[in-house]
A and B are shown apart, each in its own frame.
Chain A
Amino acid sequence: MMWRTVRRIMREPLGAIGLTLVTVVVLSAVFASALTSYAPSKISPAERFAPPSLLHLLGTDHLGRDLLTRVLYGGRVALLIALGATAVSLVVGVVLGLIAGYGPRWLDNVLLLIFDAVKSFPTVMLALTLVTLFGPSLYAVVLVVMLVNVPGYARIIRTQTLVLKSAEHVMAARSMGASAGRILRVHILPNIIGPILILISMDIPVVVAIEAGMSFLGLGVRPPTPSWGAILNDGFANIRDSYWIVIAGGLPIVLTTLGFTFFGETLRDLFDPRLKGRS
């Protein structure tokens, strides 16, 4: 089953590029420590601003840290945050969506209004406000991701729940006296998880971009934790003399977002063409 899926994806040009990029990014993050002999936060003043060479394939930054190493370890940070934050927003989105779809009408209206209001904040403004309130941290990043993603997830879950609510098998379960919790868990949830998984693969690049963007502004993960956005920030300060730092920071962001987007688009086209109009 899984190999068949992979083969179907690889047959599409977009899917082949996407899956390859995703695999490379994931593997290089997982095996970061095996791929480089440097430590990500080791400062060596003698090697400051070294251009790319055989010793340092991507060069070094203003503290003499090996950029390739920081990029590899930064991949861990980016992917972990992407997975974690998406998982959290998924859980919250599913719960709110089920409540809105299955619960009383007034609650549905209130929740819809809240979703719309949250979405009416421009993302970066939202991020800036939250950081003002709670200070820059990993949690601020996760919170921003949640506020950006949850309304979308919840809305889709809600619509699907509304459709399924009057489906025959749900009616049958209800007439046999099944509780609301059981109906949601056994009869509704399994039927809506497919489209959600596709949406997630398309949202991962958005989350990666949010983390990198906030770290670039100095509002995300704290130094010396390696993050692609932080590398960009270091490089931006020295862009006139040491161009390789911004290249090292931006390239993994570009490759990761492209990879996951291509992959997600292909998944969607192959398995759920109904979602096509959504983006």
Chain B
Amino acid sequence: MIRYAFKRLWLGAIIISVAMMMMFAMVYLIPGDPASVALGPRATPEMMEALRVRMGLDQPVWRQFLHFYGSVLRGDLGTEVLSNRPVLDVVMEQLPFTLALVVGGITWSVALGIPLGCIAAVRRGGFVDQVIGVLSVAMIAVPSFVVAIYSLLVFAVALQWLPAIGAGEPGDLASRLQHLILPSLAVGLGWIGYISRMVRASMLETLEASHIRTARAFGLTEHRIVYTYALRIAVLPTITLLGVGIGHMLSSSVFAEIVFARPGIGKLVYEAISVRNYPIVSGAVLVTTVFFVLVNVAADILVGLLDPRVRSSFN
């Protein structure tokens, strides 16, 4: 198990460093000098030169590259040019809002996806199963930004049941949660579909297993068999799926944050782009990527712990 975990972590570390390399290459490829872009057209040559030295742009490429790696490993993502604050601080300030959104999305998808999948598996081939099947595909297919806008239109603008903008009053949990309902639905809706399909498939497989046959032979009720004995095994693949899902939810949270005018990483990056604030963009993308890779590694290790078959297939 430890060997498996190490292998998985090692792979994660390699992926992150390749991702860092690509980030560096991208910033290096930017048409135009980052310093002149940061200072705008009215900068004097002296100001430009000073900033170039501060940003290390006067060094040869390989030195810049090593410097970039070194400072990232020390947790230094550079300084924001405009406010002179460390990029990491700016990003970390926004991260909790985005994480709340992702957790909300997971809650929606698990709370609705698992029961739907179970019901579909129990009613296999029937009308209910077909309806759930079509619904699941539909939820997967419709892009999250359309869901965000339409739910804003229906529940916030037309019906006025829920607030339309912001993240709620700081310190007031009820208001925070209320502001979370619609955006997290937009983020999680597609994953309700994915999870219900996944649970249905693995539930059908599990119901064929011999220990379930034994439980049937003992005369346990079908309800008890499905929800107590089979579900425990059938939800396992959901964990890996959620590992992937978190990455996708991070993506769709960008839209949810913009549509519902919520603070968060997505909104931060989006706004940084319009003012060409590169350090914020690359810093936020890097933090998100590292987070995404770590979640995936954690999900894989968790599944490895729960299911020994996965461990051996990895070697």
Instruction: Give the B-binding residues of A (Cβ under 8 A).
Output: 13-14, 113-114, 116-118, 120-126, 128-134, 205, 209, 212-213, 216-217, 219, 232, 235-236, 239-240, 243, 246-247, 250, 253-254, 257-258, 260-262, 265, 277, 279
Residues of A near B201 (CB, < 8 A) are 277
Q: How far is the CA of A279 from the CA of B18 in the complex (A)?
A: 26
A113-B18, A122-B289 in contact; A128/B149 too (CB < 8 A)?
no
CB-CB contacts below 8 Å: B1-24 with A: 11, 14-16, 18-19, 22-23
A13-B130, A14-B137, A123-B248 in contact; A128/B285 too (CB < 8 A)?
yes
CB atoms of B293 and A120 under 8 A apart: yes
Contact mask for chain B residues 175-206; partner A; CB cutoff 8 A; 1 contact, 0 none: 00000000000000000001000000100000
B29 at the interface (CB under 8 A from A): yes
A14-B134, A254-B142, A261-B137 in contact; A125/B251 too (CB < 8 A)?
yes
Residues of A near B14 (CB, < 8 A) are 113
Main secondary structure of the interface of B (DSSP, over half): helix
Residues of A near B247 (CB, < 8 A) are 120, 122
A122-B250, A262-B137 in contact; A250/B150 too (CB < 8 A)?
yes
CB atoms of B281 and A132 under 8 A apart: yes
Residues of A near B270 (CB, < 8 A) are 128, 217
Residues of B near A258 (CB, < 8 A) are 138, 141-142
Residues of B near A125 (CB, < 8 A) are 250-251, 254, 269, 284-285, 288-289
List the B residue with the shortest CB-CB distance to A128: B269
> How many Å from the CB of B246 to the closest CB on chain A?
9
List the A residue with the shortest CB-CB distance to B146: A250
Instruction: Give the A-binding residues of B (Cβ under 8 A).
Output: 11, 14-16, 18-19, 22-23, 26, 29-31, 130, 133-134, 137-138, 140-143, 145-146, 149-150, 152-153, 157-158, 194, 201, 247-248, 250-252, 254-255, 258-259, 266, 269-270, 273, 276, 278, 281-282, 284-285, 288-289, 292-293, 296
CB atoms of B19 and A117 under 8 A apart: yes
CB atoms of B149 and A124 under 8 A apart: no
Contact of B141 among A116, A216, A261 (CB under 8 A): A261
A122-B288, A232-B149 in contact; A243/B157 too (CB < 8 A)?
yes
Q: What are 19 sample pairs from A and B whose C-beta atoms fall under 8 A apart?
A: A113-B14, A121-B19, A121-B292, A122-B248, A122-B250, A122-B288, A122-B289, A124-B255, A125-B251, A125-B254, A128-B273, A129-B281, A132-B278, A133-B30, A213-B145, A213-B255, A243-B158, A253-B142, A279-B194
> How many Å from the CB of B20 to the closest CB on chain A?
9
Residues of B near A240 (CB, < 8 A) are 157
List the B residue with the shortest CB-CB distance to A254: B142
Residues of A near B269 (CB, < 8 A) are 125, 128
CB atoms of B141 and A257 under 8 A apart: yes
CB atoms of A257 and B273 under 8 A apart: no
A113-B15, A217-B270, A243-B153 in contact; A124/B251 too (CB < 8 A)?
yes
Residues of B near A257 (CB, < 8 A) are 141-143
> How many Å from the CB of A209 to the closest CB on chain B?
4
Q: How far is the CA of A216 from the CA of B255 in the complex (A)?
A: 9
List the A residue with the shortest CB-CB distance to B255: A213
> How many Å from the CB of B245 to the closest CB on chain A?
11
CB atoms of B285 and A129 under 8 A apart: yes
List the B residue with the shortest CB-CB distance to A121: B289
Contact of B137 among A121, A219, A239, A265 (CB under 8 A): A265
A122-B288, A232-B145, A261-B141 in contact; A129/B26 too (CB < 8 A)?
yes
Residues of B near A116 (CB, < 8 A) are 11, 15
CB atoms of A122 and B251 under 8 A apart: yes
> How many Å from the CB of B292 to the closest CB on chain A?
6
A243-B153, A253-B143, A253-B146 in contact; A120/B289 too (CB < 8 A)?
yes
> How many Å from the CB of A217 to the closest CB on chain B?
7
Q: How far is the CA of A122 from the CA of B187 in the complex (A)?
A: 14
CB atoms of A250 and B288 under 8 A apart: no
CB atoms of B157 and A117 under 8 A apart: no
Q: How far is the CA of A205 from the CA of B142 in the complex (A)?
A: 9
Residues of A near B11 (CB, < 8 A) are 116
Residues of A near B255 (CB, < 8 A) are 124, 213, 216-217
CB atoms of B18 and A205 under 8 A apart: no
Residues of A near B140 (CB, < 8 A) are 261, 279
List the A residue with the shortest CB-CB distance to B152: A239
> How many Å from the CB of A154 to the closest CB on chain B?
16
Contact of A129 among B266, B282, B292 (CB under 8 A): B282
List the A residue with the shortest CB-CB distance to B18: A117
Q: How far is the CA of A212 from the CA of B142 in the complex (A)?
A: 12
> How many Å from the CB of A188 to the closest CB on chain B?
26
CB atoms of A239 and B142 under 8 A apart: no
> How many Å from the CB of A92 to the closest CB on chain B?
17
Residues of A near B26 (CB, < 8 A) are 129-130, 133
> How many Å from the CB of B264 to the closest CB on chain A?
12
A121-B19, A123-B251, A216-B145 in contact; A132/B150 too (CB < 8 A)?
no
> How many Å from the CB of A141 to the closest CB on chain B?
14
Q: How far is the CA of A258 from the CA of B134 in the complex (A)?
A: 10
Residues of A near B194 (CB, < 8 A) are 279
Q: How far is the CA of A141 from the CA of B173 in the complex (A)?
A: 39
List the B residue with the shortest CB-CB distance to A134: B31
Beyond A124-B266, A212-B143, A212-B146, list 8 extra A-B contacts (CB 8 Å): A13-B130, A128-B270, A130-B26, A213-B143, A246-B149, A258-B141, A258-B142, A279-B140
